[in-house]
Amino acid sequence: MIRIDNVSLVMKNTTIVDDVSFQVKKGEFVYLIGPSGAGKSSILNLIHFDIFPTAGTVTVQNVDTRRVDKSRIPFLRRSIGFIFQDYKLLKDKTAYENVAFALEVTGAKRKVVKQKTLQVLHTVGMAHRLNHRPQDLSGGECQRVAIARAIVLEPFILLADEPTGNLDEENALIIIELLEKINHTGTAVLMATHRGEFAKRGTVKLIKIKNGRISGCTQ
């Protein structure tokens, strides 16, 4: 599904990622663990085609950075869910509208938008808060809405960039359990975090990164 082959990334004369290689297979739950500045977010952005490697190749669903038609990138991103630490919800829209918007921009019919939006809000436990705007929700609730938005297009993988970074322990655990639940339905998860204790839960792959280089990999 995803292959990172000898990838390096240099930005402003600084090496961000240095000769990194790994795979994410169908249905896997992978933790990418390392301190701040280790290159975790950059790797997720490379997979999302937000940036391109200086050397090496990123391949996503048989599409690689050497041959990708840049005009197709917005379409390719529809099959990749992205969850951010700071949620990135639209503040003037309700929880329902934030999730529905992800479908509306694809041209989905109104009936389909309503059905799928209500379904994923129920999945993340936010159906009772669908008419609330982000400023009226807790951090944990905002993150659950963000997850609903990320899965409403039924992506093959979720990229999660420090999704528990702004949450207390109780809400962090809720988010982890929710990601595990989604993973159990067959969606792969690649989660970047500095919190190695999460990787002790269940059967997961653990990739450690430090100073832009892979320092260990276990499964």
| Domains in the chain with CATH codes | 1-61+156-219 (3.40.50.300), 80-154 (no CATH)
The Cα diameter of the chain in Å comes to: 50
Amino acid at 99: V
DSSP H helices in 78-138: 95-104, 110-123
What number is the average pLDDT over the span 153-164? 96
Is pLDDT above 80 for 213?
Answer: yes
pLDDT at 219: 65
Give residue 198's pLDDT band: very low, low, confident or very high (50, 70, 90): confident
Strands 55-60 and 63-64: antiparallel
pLDDT at 135: 97
What number is the average pLDDT over the span 141-168? 96
What number is the average pLDDT over the span 37-52? 96
Give residue 217's pLDDT band: very low, low, confident or very high (50, 70, 90): confident
* C-alpha to C-alpha distance for 157 and 163, rounded to whole angstroms: 15
Is pLDDT above 90 for 28?
Answer: yes
* C-alpha to C-alpha distance for 10 and 173, rounded to whole angstroms: 35
Taking only the tens place, the pLDDT of each residue in 79-127 is: 999 999 999 999 999 999 999 999 999 999 999 999 999 999 999 999 9
* C-alpha to C-alpha distance for 154 and 148, rounded to whole angstroms: 10
DSSP H helices in the chain: 40-47, 73-77, 95-104, 110-123, 139-151, 169-183
Is pLDDT above 90 for 52?
Answer: yes
